[in-house]
Each structure stands twice: as structure tokens, then as C-alpha cells.
Chains A and B, each alone.
Chain A
Amino acid sequence: MSASKNRDINLLRSNEKQSLIRFLSLYIFLVTMLLLLLGVSYYESQEKLMFSNQRTILSTYANEQVKKLKILHHYFPTKNEYPRDERFESAIYDIERIHIFSTLKNRKIDFDKEIYRVEEKIHFVKYLDDYYLGAKYLFIEIDENRDWYRETIISIIALGIITLTVLGIFGIFFMKLFMRPMKNSVDLLDNFIKDTTHELNTPISAILANIEMMDKSIMSEKNIKKLKRINIAAKTVSHLYQDLTYLVLGHQTKVRDEWIELKELIEARVEYFSLLATPKRITFHLDLETGKLFIDAAKIARVVDNLISNAIKYNRRSGSIKITLRSNYFIVEDTGIGIEHDKVTAIFERYSRFNSSEGGFGIGLNIVKSIIDEYNLTIKVHSVLREGTTIRVSF
């Protein structure tokens, strides 16, 4: 039961996964933006608080310095030593913002802000009413105490991570809630396929076995034709059965990888499908060299079967199928209806069909893709509408 559930999750259609990823990405992006905004707002409030605390101290220093400037102004030039204080540095500028004297460590000054931070220094500007020594602006500079900064950043990061985690859990919960109806639909179809698959095996086997056993020598030409049609129909259902079996049980069966000679396999599968191609007068052109692949025989058979089956199904009447095999790739090329360029990427999605006029569940190429991915092979599709499709599998 649990294996079945896991498989269902694994077989989620790529567009469902895409929706999940997009939703989660958007959600996480928005939450992160919101948290960043809150973080910046918190940082600014902490910075303002720090400036507010520093302003009181700096204002006291500035008043003390003004008193000293007043005394120096009175005794200048008899005394000309600029007043210094070990607690702070200072500078004076005249009304035309021309420098008079400075002991500032950082000379990047701003006349329009009362208090500001510049490279780990805090500058405070006092506007003098009496211009002692010609000074209109008095700058006081102290070293910035970075404790508040460290504490604020740690708080922002810690709270951000906690909030992001909590909101992320909420996001996954809501996402599952929203995705449930879609997943239920997929589950329903999966269960239907499972149930029907079990019931298909015995009758198909019986039909195919009995067709083979029939003595055609005593049949009339008309009956032989009818029997062929029955054989084609039975093989079509058998092919569908094989796909459904792989889909339902493929992941539970034991994998037996071995060296497979693809030339023999392709020839055998072409012969098997030739009967299906006959009614549409489709001809096969085989250009096969030797090509070996270390893979499970049943799985590579599903790949070849589905590619040939699709090439027949979506081919035009009197069309052709060319199969080329080389040492590291094989190509199945048809002269069929082709696929629109923007739909090429969607053909590997489960329950996706080229054309609604043709039968099928739309699971064939999904199986092909899952096997291709499992064995790290590459598949490339080139299709021109109303001209045909070329599928190349490289290994």
C-alpha cells in the first residue's frame, strides 16, 4: 500500500510538479520580501533609537565645546589652542561652510543632517547662534558603539529564520490543501487503470493464443481478413496492457539489467507491429547497425514498442517509418501529422495525447521518458507539423 502511494507521488505529472514549485517559489519569495521589509523597518527603528540615545550625549558634548570656543574667542589670539576633549573629536565651519579647524578622524561631513553615521563614526552637528571664532557649524564626532548593530542583525536573522520556517510549514500545508482536488483526480484515474489492468490479462492472452492456433489453411480469404483484424485489435489491446502493467507494476518488479542487442530487438518489434501498420499501408525502412545497451529487457522493449506504436498511430495513410540504429543512438522517424512546436515539451506528460482523434490513454511517452530518465539516456524530439516527427534516443 505504501509502495503504491509512493509511486503515485513519483508519477505526479510534470505540470503538477511545476505548479507546486511555482506556488512554493512565489510564496517563499513573497514571505521573504515581507520579512525583509519588516527586517529593514526593525533595523531602522533600532538605528533611530541608537541615534536618539547618542543625541543626548553628543548634545552635552557640543554645549561643553561651545563654552570652550566662547572662551577661546574672547582670548584669541593671545590663546590660540583649539579646545580638545578625549571623549570626542570636533570641527568648526563658518556660515559659508568653509573649514576653520578640525580634529575629525572622518572628514565626510553632512551639513544638512543633525546626526548621522559615517564609517563607524557618529557625527552630530550643532548650529551656533553666536559665531565664536566665526564658527556657524560645530561637528562632534564619536566612535560608534556597534553592539546595537550586532544585536539587531542577530535578532533579525533569528526571527527571520523562525518566521520563515513557520510560514513555510503553513505554505506546504495550504499547498497540499489546494492541490488535493487535482491529486484526487489523478488518483482516481490511476485506480481505474489498476483495476482494469487486472481484468485484461486473461482475455487478451486467450484471444492471442487462439488466433495463433487457428488453422488458416481451411479458412476462406474473407475470414482470414477478419481474423487479421481481430489479431490487430488484440495486439493493440495487448500493447496497451503492457503499458498499463508497466505503469502499475513496473516499479515493483525486479530489475534485471543485461546487455541487449538493439538490432534484434528492433527487428522483432517491427515484425510484431507490422500487422498494425498494414491497414494504413505504412512501410518500414530499417537502417540498423549493431548497438548494445545495458538495460532491463522489458523496459527497453516498452521504449521501442511505444515509439513504433506512436509512429504508426500518428502516421498518415501510405506513410513510412524509418528506424536508424547506430552504436550510440537510434532514431524513429515518421511521416505523420507532427506536433506543434510549443506542444513538443508536453508530449512526455502523463495523459497527454498528440491528437484527440486517436485512441489511447496518453501514457506511452510518459513511460518512455521515465525509463529514459531512469537509465540516464537522452531523448530528443524534432517535429514539423503535417510533415512528421523524429525521435532520437542516445545512450
Chain B
Amino acid sequence: MQKIIKTTLTIILISTMTYAKNIENENVYSKNCIPCHEYLPASLERMFMSYMKIYSGEFTLKESLKAFLRKPDKEMSVMSDLFLDRFGVKDKTDLSEKELEEAVNIYWNRHNVRNKLR
């Protein structure tokens, strides 16, 4: 009986830690990306499609996005001139490399078209 309780507690602990980790990861994206984009007319989803239309592959898209976030440049932006004139180019990210990596991965996983087409 004691053994069963121990095992159950271990499973609950591991599950909680994993969930907490996911929440933390999600937080990197939710805390640092979503708040700013909420007030923009172009959603993160539409922006992703614009990235996809230009960069196509996962590796290419992620690397291009990270490069832009590290050093935003009007020439590098996938948004239209009209949009950029109105809202300007974003500020340089203050996320660490690890956080940036995680945020971009979450962004890719949320919006890429694979496994969503039917």
C-alpha cells in the first residue's frame, strides 16, 4: 500500500514539474510576444503565414525570425511598408538566446501548417 502511494506521488510530482515547465515555456512566448501584438491589426498568425510565404522551411524560417528579432530592420521585415510606416519596426528583443529559441519554437509549433491540413 505504501509502495502504491509512493509511486502515485512520484507520478504526480513528475507530471506537475513537466506541466510547470510547459507553462514556463509558454510563458516565454505568452509573456514576451502576445502582449505587444495584441494591439496590432496583423495577428501573430498572419505574420507567421507571411514568414512562411517568404522562407518556406522550418530551419530557414526560424533562423530568419531570430535574426530579425535580434536586430530588427525595416528591410528584413515581412510586413508591408504601410504597416511599418504606421506602427514602425519593433525594438530589439531583450530575451536571452535560450528564451528566444524557446519562443520561436513555440511560435512555429503553434502556427505551422503541417499536420493541420486535411
Contact = CB atoms under 8 A, between A and B. Distances in A.
B53 A100 contact: no
Given A95-B60, A96-B60, A101-B117, A77 B45 contact: yes
B111 to A, nearest CB: 8
Contact of A98 (B53, B55, B58, B116): B58
Interface residues on A, range: 10 to 19
B118 A95 contact: no
A353 to B, nearest CB: 85
B3 interface: no
A73 B117 contact: no
A136 interface: yes
B113 A76 contact: yes
Contacts of A96: 56-60
A134 interface: yes
A134 B52 contact: yes
B12 interface: no
Nearest to A96: B57
Given A80-B117, A100-B113, A101-B117, A130 B53 contact: yes
Interface string A275-296: 0000000000000000000000
B56 A135 contact: yes
A133 interface: yes
Query: Is the contact region of chain B dominated by helix, strand, or loop, or is it mixed?
Result: helix
Contacts of B52: 73, 131, 133-134
B86 interface: no
B33 interface: no
Contacts of B54: 131
A80 B55 contact: no
Contacts of A94: 56-58
B57 A95 contact: yes
A285 to B, nearest CB: 97
Contacts of B49: 73, 76
A33 B18 CA distance: 71
B59 A134 contact: no
Interface in B53-73: 53-61
Interface in A43-102: 73, 76-77, 80-82, 94-96, 98, 100-101
Interface of A: 73, 76-77, 80-82, 94-96, 98, 100-101, 130-136
Given A101-B117, A131-B53, A136-B57, 13 more contacts: A76-B49, A81-B118, A82-B118, A96-B56, A98-B57, A98-B58, A101-B114, A131-B54, A132-B53, A133-B113, A134-B52, A134-B53, A134-B113
| A-B pairs, 3 with minimum CB distance | A96-B57, A95-B56, A131-B56
30 contacts: A73-B53, A76-B116, A77-B45, A77-B113, A77-B116, A80-B116, A94-B56, A94-B57, A95-B55, A95-B57, A95-B60, A96-B56, A96-B57, A96-B60, A98-B57, A98-B58, A100-B114, A100-B117, A101-B117, A130-B53, A131-B52, A131-B55, A131-B56, A132-B53, A133-B52, A133-B117, A134-B52, A134-B57, A134-B113, A136-B57
